[in-house]
Amino acid sequence: MKNDILQQLMETIVARKGAAVESSYVAQLFSKGEDAILKKVGEETTEVLLAAKSGDKQHLVYETADLWFHCMVLLAQHGLSASDVLKELAQRVGVSGLDEKAGRKSDDVS
């Protein structure tokens, strides 16, 4: 599968950023502000961890999709997109994870 779905989803999220609250879940999240979005990212992160521990692979995929979605909402909140994350990942291809981590500024969080 191509990254086209991420682009389509990001476009939908951005389009709903200023929409009427009654019109969509994304519009409701944006209207509640960043703390509400961060709370959802945290909740979805926990659900991914629980799904991983359960051993149910399909449940893990489902919860990971929820987490990615909410991370994309958070990115949009900050004027970023999935493309920004994909570009960062592309830059890391072929770079040792240990080297990449060592190259971070000391004030960066792991």
Distance between CA 7 and CA 26 in Å, rounded? 16
The CATH class for the domain spanning 21-84 reads mainly alpha
Distance between CA 26 and CA 62 in Å, rounded? 18
Q: Residue-wise pLDDT tens for the chain (110 aa)? A: 455 999 999 999 999 998 999 999 999 999 999 999 999 999 999 999 999 999 999 999 999 999 999 999 999 999 999 999 999 999 888 877 676 677 766 555 55
DSSP helix/strand/coil, 24: coil
Which pTM does this prediction carry? 0.84
DSSP helix/strand/coil, 107: coil
